[in-house]
Amino acid sequence: MTTHTQLFVNLPVKNLDRAVAFYTQLGYSFNPNFTDENATSMILGENLFAMLVVEPYFQTFTKKSLVDAKTHAQTLLAVPVADRAAVDALVDKAIAAGATAHEPKDYGFMYQRAYDDLDGHTWEVFYMDPSAIPGEAQQ
What pLDDT does 68 receive?
94
- What's the pTM value of the predicted model, to 2 decimals? 0.90
Q: Under DSSP, is residue 127 helix (H, G, I), strand (E, B) or coil? A: strand
Q: What is the pLDDT of residue 11?
A: 97
Span 1-64 CATH architecture = Roll (3.10)
Residues of the chain within CATH 3.10.180.10 domain(s) are 1-64, 67-139
Give the DSSP H/E element, type plus range, for residue 94: helix 84-96
Low-confidence residues in the chain, pLDDT < 70: 136-139
pLDDT in tens, 11-26: 999 999 999 999 999 9
Predicted local confidence at residue 130, as pLDDT: 85
**Does CATH place domain 67-139 in 3.10.180.10?**
yes
User: Counting Cβ atoms within 10 Å, is residue 74 exposed (0-12), middle (13-18) or buried (19+)?
Assistant: middle
Report the pLDDT value the prediction gives residue 139, as an integer from 0 to 100: 47
